[in-house]
Amino acid sequence: MTRTAQLFLRTAVVMLIAGVAIGAAGLVDLGWLAGSRRMAHAHVLLMGWLFNTVVEVAWWMFPRVPGTVAPAALVIAAWAALNGGLLLRNGYDLAGGGALAAPAAARCC
């Protein structure tokens, strides 16, 4: 397994633990996991855990064209873009922002 594939796998495990922790916090206080926090929980598990796992398995197991190697810097840039955007989005949602936290009249039309 390449180091870049390990990077995606380790990130996937961290995202799985974070998603379970957010879900467990919602089980302790059912009102806490409403609105945008529920979206953060779903995004951490789907985009964080599942997507990082899919990319890791694809990067590790799919055959490559002989004689070609993808630059590691490009793979790391893709990892940083995916997980940096996920971190910004979920940080905003967990702080109470997000579209679902706005009143219904503010979301209209």
Contact between residue 49 and residue 15 where contact means Cβ atoms under 8 Å apart: yes
pLDDT at residue number 15: 94
On average, the pLDDT of the chain sits at 82
To the question of pTM greater than 0.85 for the whole model, the response is: no
Domain boundaries, the chain: 3-107
Q: Is 38 exposed, middle or buried (0-12, 13-18, 19+ CB in 10 A)?
A: middle
> pLDDT tens across 24-52, in order?
888 888 777 777 788 888 889 999 999 99
